[in-house]
Amino acid sequence: MNIKNFIPIILFIVLTNNYIFALPKNPLQKAIAAMELGLFNEALKQIEIAKITNPKNAEVYRLKALLHEANGDYNKAITEWKNCKQNTNNSDLMNEADIHLKNLEEY
Amino acid sequence: MSSKFLLPIIFIFLSCWNSPAINTSYNFKEISQIKLNKIIDFKGHSGSGQIIEDNIALMFMKKGYDVSSPIEGKTYININNENQKSVTLHCTITEYTDREIIVIPFRIEDRGSIETTITQSAGSDKNNDNTIATTSTTTMNDGGSIHESGKVEYTQARVGIIIKIIDDISGLLVWSHSYWYNGIELTKTAQICAKNSVQLINKLLD
């Protein structure tokens, strides 16, 4: 049996595995992948799914607020920054939310 | 020092942390012109100084001021020709990046699933006129994983500036403020950073 005959099959398996494992697995990873491509609405859809298992994660609300800001939905961004503040004790994050809220409330 | 004195001092310090520093004896209403100095690029970001400079000039224009640039690299904001005082606005970029890494910790819950398959079949025997009906039920229980956690990273833009206003005649520093903003897009973040700083200066002049 010649090993050379199996090289294309082995290569196919390795490449397919690499491709499958490189794909984002959870909604948050999918959201970030979409955001990096500039697909902000798709990223927001994925964050909504991620929020089901992470309802108290302030960083998820923060990312959602930034996406709404980038989309120009300032009222929605205000809501998400307020949610972010409610779900954190981190003073830096609260300060960041205040800076954004102050800016957004002027629109 | 007893905590009776220490607590009010800490409170005053924290409440003033993000506020502009201002020379209260200076009359800002007497300013006739603001000279905007050339802004030096942030290290490794060629053109960043020009972007902030243009955004500041644009925001002053949006506020209704006359902006002129008779000499390259010098921008003048004309406020009131009847006034005497002129000041220079110095801006230093403290942060200018679109590669600030943010980490989000997350958890995934796989609660499993229950799948039930019901199969029904009907047939008749050769020696029997009656029809025989057979029903089988298969139930599959997937317990799922209790929970899985991890973290994801993404990059965001962050722009920070320090603004100083110096009186041209006395050389006195009359106003100073530091400001930062973050967002997904660098250009928009730089624009908001400039806008909010100009807004504070506008409040002084009104």
**pLDDT tens figures, B162-185:** 999 999 999 999 999 999 999 999
Q: Does A35 score more than 90 pLDDT?
A: yes
Residue B4 in domain? no
Select the more confidently predicted residue: A106 or A48: A48
Residues in chain B, total: 206
Three-state DSSP state, A28:
helix
Total of domains in chain B: 2
What Cα–Cα distance (Å) separates residue B39 from each residue in B49, B93, B108, B121? Answer: 5, 8, 47, 83
Report how many Cβ contacts below 8 Å link chain A to chain B: 56
Per-residue pLDDT tens over the stretch B20-77: 899 899 999 999 999 999 999 999 999 999 999 999 999 999 999 999 988 877 899 9
Looking at beta carbons, which residues of chain A come within 8 Å of B154? 32, 35-36, 63
DSSP conformational letter for B37: P
Assigned domain for B178 exists: yes
Q: Do B131 and B85 fall within a single domain?
A: no
pLDDT at B138: 75
SS3 B200: helix
DSSP label at residue B41: P
Choose between B58 and A17: higher pLDDT: B58
Instruction: Give pTM, 2 decimals.
Output: 0.75
Mean pLDDT of A48-71: 94
Classify residue B3: in a domain, yes or no.
no
Q: How far is B11 from chain A (nearest CA, A)?
A: 15
Q: Mapping DSSP to helix (H, G, I), strand (E, B) and coil, where does residue B67 land?
A: strand
A65, burial (CB in 10 Å: exposed 0-12, middle 13-18, buried 19+):
buried
The verdict on B95 and B173 lying in the same domain is: yes
Asked whether residue A44 carries a pLDDT value surpassing 60, the answer given is: yes
Task: Tell me the chain B residues in contact with residue A66 when contact means C-beta distances shorter than 8 Å.
Answer: 156, 182-184
Q: What is the pLDDT of residue A23?
A: 62
B176 vs A8 pLDDT, higher one: B176
- Shared domain for B66 and B95, answered yes or no, is yes
Helix locations, chain B, DSSP H:
3-15, 48-62, 186-205
Pairing outcome for strands B85-108 and B31-36? parallel
A43 membership: H or E segment, kind and range: helix A40-53
Kindly list the distances between the CA atom of residue A61 and the CA atoms of A54, A55, A79, in Å, as whole numbers in the listed order.
10, 9, 9
Domain match, B81 and B49 both = yes
Go through the domains of chain A in sequence order and give each one's CATH number. Answer: 25-104 (1.25.40.10)
In this structure, the answer to whether residues B145 and B167 fall within a common structural domain is no
Work out the pLDDT band at B12, boundaries 50, 70, 90.
very low
Residue B29 lies in a domain: yes
- Which of A56-61's residues contact partners 24+ apart within 8 Å by CB, and which partners? A56/A87, A57/A87, A57/B104, A57/B105, A57/B106, A58/A84, A58/A85, A58/A87, A58/A88, A58/A90, A58/A93, A59/A93, A59/B102, A59/B103, A59/B104, A59/B105, A60/A28, A60/B104, A60/B106, A61/A87
Distance CA B155, CA B130 (A): 72
Convert the pLDDT of each residue in B112-146 to its tens digit.
666 777 777 776 656 666 667 777 777 776 665 55
**Four-CA torsion B189, B194, B198, B200, nearest 10 degrees:** 50
Q: Indicate whether B143 and B77 sit together in one domain.
A: no
Of the residues B115, B134, B149, the one at which a domain ends: B149
Which amino acid, residue B146? I
Kindly state the tokens that stand for B91. 């801006």
Residue B13 lies in a domain: no
pLDDT: which is higher, B48 or B14: B48
Model confidence at B15: pLDDT above 70:
no
Range of B134's domain?
106-149
Do residues B50 and B65 both lie within one domain? yes
The answer to whether the Cβ–Cβ distance between A69 and B106 falls below 8 Å is no
Q: What's the Rg (C-alpha) of chain B?
A: 33
Domain boundary among B132, B149, B166: B149
- Same domain for B121 and B188? no
Claim to verify: residue B50 and residue B31 sit in the same structural domain:
yes
For residue B1, being part of any structural domain is answered with no
pLDDT digits (tens, 9 = 90+) for B73-100: 789 999 987 878 999 999 999 999 999 9
The pLDDT tens digits for B187-204 are: 999 999 999 999 999 998
| Chain B residues in contact with A32 (beta carbon < 8 A) | 152-154
In a shared domain, residues B26 and B91: yes
Kindly state the helix (H) or strand (E) to which residue A50 belongs, with its residue range: helix A40-53
Question: CA of A65: which chain B residue's CA is closest?
Answer: B183
B193: domain CATH number is 3.30.160.100
Q: What tokens does B174 get?
A: 């009359």
Q: State the pLDDT at residue B5.
A: 55
Q: Is B31 domain-assigned?
A: yes
Q: What is the pLDDT of residue B112?
A: 60
B7 within domain boundaries: no
**Separation CA B190–CA A80 (nearest Å):** 22
Residues B51 and B94 in one domain: yes
Do residues B136 and B177 share a domain?
no
